[in-house]
Amino acid sequence: MHISTNPWVWIAAILTLAIYSFLYKDNPFYKFAEHLFMGLGIGYGAVLLWYNSIIPRLWNPLAHGTSPTRFFLLIPIALGLLSLGIFSRRYSWLIKYPLAFYMGAVTGLSVPVAFEANIFEQAQGTILKHSMFSNPWLGISNIIMFIGVITTITYFYFSKQHRGLLGKSARVGIVYIMLAFGASFGYTVMARISLLIGRMQFLLHDWLGIIK
């Protein structure tokens, strides 16, 4: 047994145990770790933002850039300043301008993503092709999957009562959804257990030195 002499390992180990103590019940150790975590997180977020966006996207183009379009960046700066209006009771409504810009941006950005990445790719994958029937088992599997896609979509049909054929199809859709959710859940268990194994190894190997 070789207990670590590195004070940082000790700090990490104590913080690890502090978080785990939450599993028993809320306690001052967890509260300590939680508040430290939130403090570090916001400082970390601020540094990350600075490093990943303000410097490369705002400072560099404005200070060192030569492109005439760089002055367009003054618009988001202005919108950003408007959002600070929230500090004043009288001008707090100014925040609606940057928010309105966001709304427009959401719309503009999500529509292409929806088409390009999801709808077409998924629909194309769903269409049964000759090659999907190269052997009987594969064929059956693909038909089963095809029914799964179709019935799930009918479950999300909102503007009609789920009765008759639509009702039956939506019902099958829900069964498929449940089967899929169960599979996803079971699939993830392994990865989650390995996380705990990782922490145990840290405690028993790096910290306490019980195992090699």
Partner 1 sequence: MNGENISFWEKLGKIDRRWIFLIIGLVVFIPIAFGLRMTVHVSPAVKSAYDTINSLPEGSVVMISIDYDAASMPELQPMLKAILRHCFDKNLKVVLINFWPLGLPIGNQGLEEVAREYGKVYGVDYMNLGYRPGDIAVMLRMGTEIRSVFYGDIKGTPLDSLPMMKNIHNYDDIAVVVGLEAGSMGDAWVQYVNARFKQDLILGVTAVMAAGVYPYLQAGQIKGLIGGLKGAAEYEKLVNHPAFGHIGMASQSWAHVTIILFIILGNIGYFMERRRKRGL
Partner 2 sequence: MLKKQIPLAITFITGVIIVVTFFIPHPPFGRLQQDALTWYSVIFGFTMLLGVDSLVKFHYTKLRRREKGWWFSIVFYCGFLLSFITGVISEIRFGDAFNINSSFMYFYNTILVPLQSTMFALLAFFIASASYRAFRARNIDATFLLVTAVIVMLGRVPVGYMLWHKLPDLTSWILNVLQLGPMRGIMIGISLGTVAMSLRLILGIERTYLS
Partner 3 sequence: MIMFILLSTITVKAFDTPNDGGKSITIKAYNVPETVKKALVYRKTEGDTTYTLAGVMSILSYRFMDADSTIKNGKPYYYRVDFYFPDTVISVEADSPGIAYAQWYDKTKTSSLIFLIVFSTFVLVFIQLAKKDPEGLYIRKIPALDAIDEAVGRSTELGKPTFFVHGLLGITDAGTLAALTILRRVAKKVAEYDTPILVTNYDPIVMTASQETVKQAYTEAGRPDAYNEKNIIYLTYEQFGYTAGVDGLMVREKPGAIFLQGYFFAESLILAETGHSVGAIQIAGTTAKEQLPFFVAACDYVLIGEEMLAASSYIGREPVMLGSVKGSDWGKVFLLAIIGIGVAIGTIGSILQSAGNGALMNVFEKILAFF
Q: Residues interacting with partner 1, by CB under 8 A?
A: 23-24, 187-191, 193-201, 204, 210-211
Give Cβ neighbours of residue 56 (< 8 Å, ≥ 6 apart): none
Residue type, 146: F
Q: Judged by CB under 8 A, does residue 172 bind partner 3?
A: no
- 103 versus 211: smaller Cβ distance to partner 3: 103
Query: Considering only CA atoms, which of 150, 170, 151, 175 is closest in space to residue 160?
Result: 170
For the CB of residue 131, give the shortest distance to partner 2 in the complex, in Å: 16
Q: Identify what 204 binds: partner 3, partner 2, partner 1, none; CB under 5 to 8 Å per kind.
A: partner 1
Collapse the DSSP code of 90 into the 3-class scheme (helix H, G, I; strand E, B; otherwise coil) and give the result: coil
Query: How many chain residues interact with partner 3 (CB under 8 A)?
Result: 63
DSSP letter string, 140-157: HHHHHHHHHHHHHHHHT-
- Asked if residues 67 and 61 have their Cβ atoms less than 8 Å apart, the reply is yes
For the CB of residue 2, give the shortest distance to partner 2 in the complex, in Å: 19
- 76 versus 210: smaller Cβ distance to partner 2: 76
Residue indicated by tokens 């090699």: 212
Q: Judged by CB under 8 A, does residue 124 bind partner 3?
A: yes
| CA–CA separation, 113 and 166 (whole Å) | 29
Binding site for partner 3 (CB under 8 A): 19, 22, 25-26, 30-31, 33-34, 37-42, 44-46, 48-49, 83, 86, 95-96, 98-99, 102-103, 105-106, 109-112, 115-116, 119-121, 123-124, 126-130, 146, 150, 153, 156-162, 177-178, 180-182, 184-185, 188
